[in-house]
Structure 1
Amino acid sequence: MYQLLADALREANGDFGIRVVVITHEGEHFTAGNDIFDFLNAPPHEPGSPVWNFLQEIHNFTKPLLAAVSGNAIGIGTTMLLHCDITIASEKTNFSMPFVNLGLVPEAGATLLFPRLVGYQKAAHILLTGESFSAVQAVEMGLIAGIAKDPKDEIKKIALKLASQPPNAILQTKALLKSDLHEKVKVVMQAEGELFLRALESDEAQEAFMKLAARKGK
């Protein structure tokens, strides 16, 4: 899935006929969380891995990137939103970044972008405890732009409005909005990826994975 997303973003970025991209989902949840055993079999943050490629593409995407979110947005389902320009969620959406709970570190530049967004104290509380938060809290933090009964319908309206705007002005404005942190985020993502890979092999991560598997009955 991640490689398909990476490929789609790269193609859309180079297609002058595409002005806006929306990321959404089928089914109840935006993301239910990655399978831990997939992590072990195919480490996700090795350069060239599908997850790594996806995060690079989403970070470097130059056009408006929107998201419509419902249900659970776990792990990368929350961190990826830090790279989206406008996100609309349903009222009952549940966000969480439980990396530390699994003996891991955050990803996608979250350790830089999240505290810049919500303040150090709030970011530290959420990232160090792994506690989830609601859509209302996400709006208050500035992680998402708003809440709608039908996020997909609302984000479609926004996408159509953006697509009707002068394209160069849109591209240049987004570039200016992102310019201050773009290179810094790239460096932080690299550091996070290296630490994530080391953490995967740690005893505390292995213990956390086994406890999670036991709870899921694997």
Structure 2
Amino acid sequence: MSFILDEQIGAVLRLTLNRPEKKNAITQDMYQRLADKINEAAGDFSIRAVVINSNGDSFTAGNDINDFANDPQMDEGSPVFNFLFAIHNFPKPLIASVKGRAVGIGTTMLLHCDLVTANPDTQFSMPFVSLGLVAEGGSSYLFPRLVGHAKASEILLTGRTFSADEAKEMGLINSIAADELAAAMAFANEIAEQPPNAVINTKALLKSGSHEALNQVMKAEGVLFKMAAESDEAQLAFMNFLAKKSKVK
């Protein structure tokens, strides 16, 4: 069974995280498949937009801690980096449909999306500091630009969870809907009906002021993230996290 499903519906490619029994925690293989599909969609004229969604009751619990702790790949060319740069460089509209828990990369990837819909019960968090890590995916640059330094510091330094209502107030998501996937597909289909070159050029203009700066920030984050992941502090945090999970079970 594939943990990443892909289906083209008209001019929209839907990519579905399909590991519900693990809250869609993302492995290295899943990152690479997502990267490959997004990069393929960039060069496929029949695809006008991409929607990322999930099966099960959560968007994603973030990185698969067991997979990641054993091999914390964050170098350029690694599956994680390939995915992050695929969404950063994707020239067409990228839309996310979010529900349940959106942890770590489940929130930071949204900063690269052009439109995001969320279920009213969605809970967002970026608990990098809590795991002895640093922000990734360009979030140390994009999140303060979106919400301001004070709010970004509050959330990133505490790792606290925030609601769909707060996410909408921040401007992280566009809309809250009971059927978040239907809302996302409606956005995607509306955009797919627009002249495609005008859409691509408009997105490029919207991102032009920060695109290269973000490249450099993402590379710096990757270096620091890898150093942090290999530290004793992070390894202890990982062990504590896994111990808590086993007690819950």
TM-score range, shorter chain: over 0.9
The equivalent residue for 2:173 is: 144
Q: Secondary structure at the match of 1:67?
A: strand
CA deviation after TM superposition for structure 1 residue 151, in Å: 0.6
Of 88, 94, 118 in structure 2, the residue corresponding to residue 59 of structure 1 is 88
| Residue 75 of structure 2: aligned partner | 46
Q: What CA distance in whole angstroms lies between the structure 2 residues aligned with 1:7 and 1:15?
A: 12
User: Gaps spanning 5+ residues in structure 2: where?
Assistant: 1-29
Q: Tell me the residue number matched to 1:174.
A: 203
| Larger strand share, 1 or 2 | 2
CA distance in 2, matches of 1:31, 1:86: 18
Code of the aligned partner of 2:209: D
Could you say which residue in structure 2 is the equivalent of 1:16? Answer: 45
What is the one-letter code of the residue matched to 1:203?
Answer: D
The answer to whether the 8 A contact 1:87-1:155 is kept is yes
Whether 1:217 aligns to 2:246 is yes
Is 1:132 the counterpart of 2:161? The answer is yes
Which consecutive residues of structure 1, in runs of 5 or more, have no partner in the other structure? none
Q: Deviations over 1:86-110 (max 9, x none)?
A: 0000000000000000000010000
Taking the aligned partners of 1:11 and 1:35, their CA distance within structure 2 comes to 25
- Higher share in helix: 1
> How do 1:1-218 residues align onto structure 2 when only pairs under 5 Å count?
1-217=30-246
**Secondary structure, aligned partner of 1:144:** coil
Q: How many residues align?
A: 218
- Amino acid in the other structure paired with 1:53: N
Distance 1:180 1:90 in 2: 31
Contact 2:72-2:230 within 8 A present in 1 as well: no
TM-score (norm 2): 0.86
Which residue identity does 1:201 align to in structure 2? E
Contact 1:43–1:49 under 8 Å retained in 2:
no
AA partner of residue 148 (structure 2): G
Instruction: Tell me which stretches of 4 or more aligned residues in structure 1 moved more than 3 Å.
Output: none
Q: Secondary structure at the match of 1:21?
A: strand
Aligned to 1:217, the other structure's residue is in SS state helix
Judge conservation of contact 1:102–1:209 (CA < 8 Å) in 2. yes
Query: Which residue identity lines up with residue 10 of structure 1 in the other structure?
Result: N
Distance 2:60 2:150 in 1: 26
Could you tell me how far 1:61 is from its partner in structure 2? 0.3
For residues 157 and 7 of structure 1, what CA distance do their matches in structure 2 show? 25
TM-score by length of 1: 0.98
Contact 2:108 2:137 in 1 (8 A): yes
Letter in 2 for 1:4: R
1:82 shift after superposition: 0.2
How far off is 1:16 after superposition? 1.0
Hey, what's the Cα distance between the residues in 2 that align with 1:162 and 1:44?
35
Q: Is the 8 A contact 1:67 1:81 kept in 2?
A: yes
Q: Root-mean-square deviation (CA), in Å?
A: 1.0
Measured after TM superposition, the shift of residue 35 of structure 1 is 2.4
CA deviations over 1:44-72 (Å, ceiling 9, x no partner): 31222211110010000000000111100
Contact 1:10 1:57 in 2 (8 A): yes
